[in-house]
Amino acid sequence: MVTKGNGMHAGRALVIAHEADGPGGQVAIRLRERGYDIHTHVVTHDLKSPNDSVPFPDFADFDVVAIMGSIRSLTNKPEIDNWVHSELDAIRDAHAAGQPILGICFGGQLIAEALGGSVELSPETEIGWREIRETDGKTNPAGPGPWMEWHHDRIVPPADAEVLAETDTAVQLFTVGKMVGTQFHPEVDVQHITDWLETADDEYLATYGQDRHAILAEMGEHEPRNTKQCHAFVDWFIDTIARPGG
């Protein structure tokens, strides 16, 4: 089967969007360009009803899975206990089967929690563009960025994880087998941030020293560079983790 992009059909990719305003963005765009057929599954459709969810498709029906962010927190599982335990189980099953998964922010936190790590309240809320650095003796395949951060919690990686990048505040990139978790958001573009800001009131933003107009202006400045670095990061995931050696 032939698809537009690289001329080859790479398989099926499942994108998990926990809310309607958190789709795959540039991650999904690059997966499609690399020949994947994309299926996006939106878990919850009403921000006021976080436990009203749509059942997950079977991860095993897909060649790769990208799990995106969320406004929810794994430090408050009762708010999402109608679906979060099913997602954690699906990640564990995928890990046992050697299935590649890329987890972004909340998605990375889910991978950590599912595989023996945990998630905790971050001592600092990171919002905005931050450079990330490689950990001692490791290579950071994402590069320093800067990358968009928007998180209140942070990852405590599993004991067998390889931590590749960090900031002073949080682990930013780790791998476990064919699982890759990030704390940063590579997927963002202007439309993505615009959608996020529609659900963020001014009082919330002011609490963290943020202004919606400044956030959007900065996203416009960073978008061309971020798109390139996101696509390069997805290429690394595909070529090194999902399909090493082609």
Whole-structure pTM value: 0.94
Residue 133 identity (one-letter amino acid): R
CATH code for residues 11-189+226-242: 3.40.50.880
CB burial readout 226-236, b (16+ within 10 A) else e: bbebbbebbee
Nearest to 13 by CA among 68, 53, 65: 65
* pLDDT band at residue 199 using 50, 70 and 90 as cut-offs: confident
Q: Do the bridges between strand 64-67 and strand 101-104 make them parallel or antiparallel, or are there none, so unpaired?
A: parallel
Per-residue pLDDT tens over the stretch 125-142: 999 999 999 999 999 999
Enumerate the active-site residues: 105, 185, 187
pLDDT in tens, 70-104: 999 999 999 999 999 999 999 999 999 999 999 99
